[in-house]
Structure 1
Amino acid sequence: MEPLDAQVLRQSLQWQAQGQRVLLVTVARTWGSSPRPPGSLMALREDGLTVGSVSGGCVEDDLVHRLRQGDIGLDAATDRPRLVRYGVTTEQAHRFGLPCGGTLELMLEPLSTHSRLAETLAALERRQSLQRTLDLRSGAVTLAPGAHDAVPHWADEHHFVSQLGPQARLLLIGAGDLSRYLAGMARGMGFDVTVCDPRPEQADWAEPGIGFSREMPDDLVQRLRPDRRTAVVAVSHDPKLDDLALIDALQTEAFYVGAIGSRRNSATRRQRLREHFDLSDAQLDRLRGPAGLPIGSKTPAEIALSILAEVVATKNGVAPASAPSSAPSQPSTQAVTHP
């Protein structure tokens, strides 16, 4: 599943190619509680069709209503980008479903060839982060290298700056039941997922939207060069596969590197990596093992849930402190079979 922001941009391009006028809506700022964070996108077509989301639905409905009433223009030749604000009053907060008196500020941008959506999508497909600067006087957009985790801001009174980054990526070392659950869950949450297992006894995958590689895992890690939007999780239970991949992953910018196993096996792995490979203490401290949050997980599906929860928490900057003693003890799942 493609990330929602990329879906919005891609659909907007398709609508433009069909001759439709399109309004791109960006969450510029929020105060208090907000259903969607700054930077969230939606697109509004001239007939009222939408893709993406900037709230729980009420704001989208109001934007469609205002479009049909003529309060919002989509003609880039005559209509300039502008801000609208929702939730300023208590009545508005209740009307538009903004919790706890939250306030939502939206940038409304009529799209044109100057919006540079095709270039933006191409950069995201190359896993590049972009800074997108919109000139409110002309509607023209300039692109520059950016940081995906930066928030939208104003460069000055005429220039609105937003950030777009590549899809989060998950690399799983080892096929099997746990990988199937973990890959499926991650794919549903918008991760780009690749499973790697060179062992001939593991059947080829035919999972829609999930990549499969027969490369040696360390070769794949070196080829993919994990970045700050990549997580690597070893689930093969085979040190010959897991260790080399972990060694390479721990020396990259991957935001999460983890491996399953019991607490005893995880401690043995750390000692093995410390004694036989040239890894620093700081690099070894990045290794999450046993991977996953302590939710008492026993089945492959529950273990997958615990691992993905920790991966997402780390991606969002709210991961618990790494401590082997606090992680769940995970049984082997390779022998478990499911229909």
Structure 2
Amino acid sequence: MKSIEQIVLGAAIEFLTKGEFGWLCTVVKTFGASPRPLGSMLAMDSRGVVFGSLSGGCIEEELLDKLRRGELAATHPEILEYGVSAEENERFGLPCGGRMQILVEPLAPSAEFCILLGELCNALDHRRAKRRQVNIGTGQWQLEDITECEPLSITGNVLVQDFGPRYRLLLIGANELARCISEIALAMDYRVIVCDPREDRRDQWAVTGAELSASMPDDAVSEFADPYTAVITLTHDPRIDDMALMQALTESLFYVGALGSVRTSEKRRQRLKQLDISDEQIDRLYAPVGLPIGSKSAMEIALAIMAQLTQLRSTASKARTVNGG
């Protein structure tokens, strides 16, 4: 499954290679509440076919109206602002006080744009991070490889936008909790892989969109391990969970978590120490998994887990902004 960025960029490549003119539209600033986060993208061809989303419909319709009137950026990028009045908030479906700035970039059917877009797509396909810098005055692009993604920013007349791999969630154990986590994670645009070596558990799995793996847990962790992947063990069977954790705690992963009570988690840590996992590696383990919100049901626990992942991603993003940008 592809991320929304891959879908948008791929659509732009497709209409450009057919010789059609188009536009790439990006949310570059938000003020107050906004329907879509910073960096959300949309591609639109000269026929008015839209790929991606900026607001859920209303701003897209306004852009289409501009296209029909011949008022959309033709030669150079332009920044459009929405929500500057209460009337506009109501018209575009923005929350009270919410404002958005959209960068509209005209894309000519040239080899240059196809190559640049193709380079971005190729990086995402191979789970590499890429930064694009756009001169808002001229529309000129520059691409460079990066190791960590930072939030979108505009400095002077230059847009800096980082593209990173889609976050993945590897769940060990195909059970009811895995189903609940999968449903929330898929809605949040995670790629979800559920690994369970037990055939009877795999036969009962029925969540559309979540991939199913019959690999041994340590092999699955090795296959998917990278800094944009989280691994969570859910089986309550130490023979399965510990196998995954032994591998996961030695890998460069975004997050490693394990289901269980405080007492169970402490016993797990002691077992891992006996299996030659270092104290430093064990300290990376989130167990009990999830934020302590008093969750009891499977869906409540799933919510606590996904909330913790969201919190950690947000904290990491803010830290990078303070320290590096």
Q: Which category of TM-score, normalised to the shorter sequence, fits these structures?
A: 0.7 to 0.9
- CA shift, 1:277, in A, is 2.4
Match of 1:85 among 81, 89, 98: 81
Q: Could you tell me which residue of structure 2 aligns to residue 163 of structure 1?
A: 162
Q: Is the 8 A contact 1:147 1:165 kept in 2?
A: no
Q: String of CA shifts for 1:26-66, please: whole Å, max 9, x gaps.
A: 11122333322221111223233322222353322222211
The answer (yes or no) to whether the contact 2:28–2:38 under 8 Å persists in 1 is yes
Deviation at 1:130, TM superposition (A): 0.9
The alpha-carbon deviation at position 246 of structure 1 amounts to: 1.6
RMSD of the TM alignment (CA)?
2.8
- What's the TM-score once normalised by structure 2's chain length? 0.83
Please name the residue that 2:101 is paired with. 105
CA spacing shift, 1:108–1:148, aligned 2, 3 Å: farther
SS at match of 2:100: strand
For 1:177-256, what aligned pairs fall within 5 Å after superposition?
Answer: 177-203=176-202, 208-227=208-227, 229-256=228-255
How many Å separate the matches in 2 of 1:289 and 1:13?
Answer: 44
Residue 258 of structure 2: aligned partner: 259
Please tell me whether residue 11 in structure 1 is matched to residue 14 in structure 2.
no
Q: Is the 8 A contact 1:131 1:147 kept in 2?
A: no
1:268 aligns with 2:267: yes
Which runs of 5 or more structure 1 residues have no equivalent in the other structure?
319-339
Alignment correspondent of 1:310:
308
CA contact (8 A) 1:42 1:54 kept: yes
Distance across 2 between alignment mates of 1:302 and 1:275: 33
- Following superposition, the deviation at residue 13 of structure 1 comes to 2.6
Identity, % of aligned positions = 41
- Between stretches 20-29 and 47-56, larger displacement belongs to 47-56
Aligned length: 311
Specify the code of the residue in structure 2 equivalent to 1:269.
Answer: R
The one-letter amino acid paired with 2:72 is I
* One-letter identity of the residue aligned with 2:311: A
SS at match of 2:315: coil
AA at the equivalent of 2:283: D
Cα distance per residue 1:95-114 (max 9 Å; x no partner): 43443433322211112443
Residues in 1 aligned to 2:208 and 2:122: alpha-carbon distance in whole angstroms: 22
Shift of 1:125: 1.3
Q: Does 1:22 align with 2:22?
A: yes
Aligned-pair CA distance for 1:299: 4.3
The structure with the largest helix share of the pair is 2
- Partner of residue 52, structure 1: 52
CA distance in 1, matches of 2:202, 2:99: 52
Counterpart CA distance in 1 for 2:154 and 2:264 is 51
Q: Note if contact 2:54-2:60 (Cα within 8 Å) is conserved in structure 1.
A: yes
Q: Scaled by the length of structure 1, what TM-score is found?
A: 0.80
Q: What amino acid maps onto 1:99 in structure 2?
A: P
Question: Which segments of structure 1 move beyond 6 Å, counting only runs of 4 or more?
Answer: none
* Alignment deviations for residues 217-247 of structure 1 (CA, whole Å, 9 cap, x no partner): 22322232221x2111001222122123223
CA offsets 1:102-147 (integer angstroms, 9 cap, x no match): 3322211112443322221111111111101223455342211236
C-alpha contact 2:129 2:149 (8 A) present in aligned 1: no
Query: Whole-Å Cα distance in 2 between the matches of residues 89 and 147 of structure 1?
Result: 40
- Kindly provide the amino acid, as one letter, of the partner of residue 77 in structure 2: P
CA–CA separation in structure 2 for the residues paired with 1:203 and 1:33: 41
| Equivalent residue number for residue 152 of structure 1 | 152
Q: Give distance in 2, aligned partners of 1:148 and 1:65.
A: 38
Q: Secondary structure at the match of 1:274?
A: helix
Q: Which runs of 5+ in 2 are unaligned?
A: 317-325
Residues 71 and 273 of structure 1: CA distance in aligned 2, closer, same or farther (over 3 Å): same
CA-CA distance at 1:194 after TM superposition? 1.6
- AA partner of residue 80 (structure 1): H
Which secondary structure does the structure 1 equivalent of 2:277 belong to?
Answer: coil
8 A Cα contact 1:29 1:38, kept in partner: yes
Give the secondary-structure state (helix, strand or coil) at the position aligned to 2:171. strand
Q: Is the 8 A contact 1:42 1:50 kept in 2?
A: yes
The match for 2:172 is: 173
